[in-house]
A and B are shown apart, each in its own frame.
Chain A
């Protein structure tokens, strides 16, 4: 059992607030990914859980026991640091053995654990090498092996794959996932890479400015973003936002954009969808939900092709609209677009989101943030 409960965590460095009133519950054997832009407080949160930083306020519980004052090595954790941090003057095997230094285990036990992690990660050839003699991938494997050798219930990962090339990153990513399932550890993983977050996570925590924007499964975060920030951060290429106003029409709710009315689909008619006539909103559309047509009678928007990125399986086309706003759309590779072409823009309205222009909140799920929050009350020891 390795459950973690972070309660009202605040961490200040001098005058800057790195983490503000953060509450988070991580279940046993769960992979929780903290994701957000740099400076959002995700690494600070992880360091507080690891005991490397002392919280300014708030408590941290492991399995219901308050560990806020417990030093790192007495917590049930292991950690893999950014850029595969190892002791540079020690060999692979010596590095792994350092994990046993403060643990009271017999020599046989230590050797057995060493042999186990070496086998798990396939690093037989790295044992006598210094970190500087290993390749990036090998070094990362040794760093993971060193962490696993502690036999801890919680594995903390601080952007462990960020300094590897794309192919290696994908390989190690899937390996990590297999290892985690095999070892049944709880894992907290910090990354700024939303793809990594989507692939690895059981649940994702999207953070911004030291607070949580949304917690949810990858599906929830992708399909029901609570705010423009989450919507823009998760998904690649990022979501487009069109600024307009909401009006009531004969067929339900209409979105007015550049003098044209667009009927919003049925779900925006449900009860609980409150808006004011003429309210300023942002219409969120993912690039794959925009169709570009050479010409069309029903398409209501027109733009010119600004840039084309060819990715092989698809093209990402940037379209500049009359208002100067730019949209990204995904187009099948068969259709050739050239810069300067006039195109008609067809938005697949079933998949759009509406956000309040001022607060950035998703209008359909406003108030949902509160229900998403963890309200579990923990038996606080002491």
Chain B
């Protein structure tokens, strides 16, 4: 009985630990600007409203009492950031997934010389902290004129997502049933086997992979911070971090954070049933 009580107490603690900050900014996002200044801070919005959600995006909002909320001065940046983040995450995912499907399939199911060494190379790139390669990239991009360009950021982000996703999906591809022999007897070519048999079989893993890829690009901060901050190509993470130095309206900041959380939330919700069925914890190198 005591054990059970202890267990639940721990669970409650963990939920509180992770969920409370989330609740706190949600509370702020739905409060009026004045509510954020109340001391001691209340545990619920002083006057629940969606005003900050509207003003953070640059809309004027009038509530039913006739109170007028003016658009945020940072709204333009938020809108550009949202749009750029979306373009970045989508293009990175669309480029990464076909490449990674081929790579992970090759590493996971085919035997060739130096395979383990090449897998170790992929792993090494995954293990490399992005910050350690940003300076060479910056110098290179200066010469190529890619600094401050979304295209440049997409290119750099691919160097993170492709190894990461390859590494994650190798084990998944390897655990699929060995149907290639069956397909060969049925007379399917290698490419046709991959497209008509393997990819449909692997759709769960590929869906989860796409999600992880999209979120990695969506959340990518280090490269974006160095390469595109303050330019028209800026993405949402550097925009939000930049706000901290501009003493923003707390409720509008919370609303912006809320916007940045919507895509991950939707994706995770949509794909949650796949995540557990996908085994990505298998060791890769044999």
How would residues 176 to 193 of chain B score, 1 for a CB under 8 Å from any chain A CB and 0 otherwise? 011101111111100000
- State which of B184, B186, B201 has its C-beta within 8 Å of the C-beta of A88: B201
- State which of B177, B181, B197 has its C-beta within 8 Å of the C-beta of A79: B181
Total contacts A to B, CB within 8 angstroms? Answer: 54
- Contact at B186–A81, with CB atoms within 8 Å? no
A47 surroundings in chain B (CB, below 8 A):
181
- Contact at A87–B187, with CB atoms within 8 Å? no
- Contact at B182–A87, with CB atoms within 8 Å? yes
B283 surroundings in chain A (CB, below 8 A):
none
A79 surroundings in chain B (CB, below 8 A):
181-182, 185
- Contact at A81–B187, with CB atoms within 8 Å? no
How would residues 62 to 87 of chain A score, 1 for a CB under 8 Å from any chain B CB and 0 otherwise? 00000000011110011101000111
B136 surroundings in chain A (CB, below 8 A):
none
Question: At the interface, yes or no: A98 with Cβ under 8 Å from chain B?
Answer: yes
How far in angstroms is the closest Cβ of chain A from B101? 16
B188 surroundings in chain A (CB, below 8 A):
101-102
- Contact at A87–B184, with CB atoms within 8 Å? no
How far in angstroms is the closest Cβ of chain A from B39? 59
- Contact at A89–B187, with CB atoms within 8 Å? no
A88 surroundings in chain B (CB, below 8 A):
177, 179, 201
How far in angstroms is the closest Cβ of chain A from B110? 14
Q: How far is the CA of A73 from the CA of B184 in the complex (A)?
A: 7
Dominant SS among interface residues on chain A: loop
Minimum CB distance partner of B192 in chain A: A101
- Contact at B181–A52, with CB atoms within 8 Å? yes
B183 surroundings in chain A (CB, below 8 A):
98
B181 surroundings in chain A (CB, below 8 A):
47, 50, 52, 79, 81, 85
Q: How far is the CA of A86 from the CA of B183 in the complex (A)?
A: 10
Question: At the interface, yes or no: B41 with Cβ under 8 Å from chain A?
Answer: no
Q: A51-B184, A72-B187, A78-B185 are in contact. List 15 more A-B contacts (CB 8 A).
A: A47-B181, A50-B181, A52-B185, A73-B185, A73-B186, A81-B181, A85-B178, A85-B179, A85-B182, A86-B182, A87-B179, A87-B182, A87-B201, A89-B197, A98-B182
- Mind listing 26 A-B residue pairs with CB under 8 Å? A50-B181, A52-B181, A52-B184, A71-B184, A71-B187, A72-B184, A72-B187, A73-B184, A73-B186, A74-B187, A79-B182, A81-B178, A81-B181, A85-B179, A85-B182, A86-B179, A87-B182, A88-B179, A88-B201, A89-B201, A98-B182, A98-B183, A98-B186, A99-B186, A102-B187, A102-B188
8 interchain residue pairs of minimum CB distance? A102-B187, A73-B187, A72-B184, A72-B185, A98-B186, A89-B200, A89-B201, A52-B181
Using a CB–CB cutoff of 8 Å, the interface residues on chain A facing chain B are 47, 50-52, 71-74, 77-79, 81, 85-89, 98-99, 101-103, 150
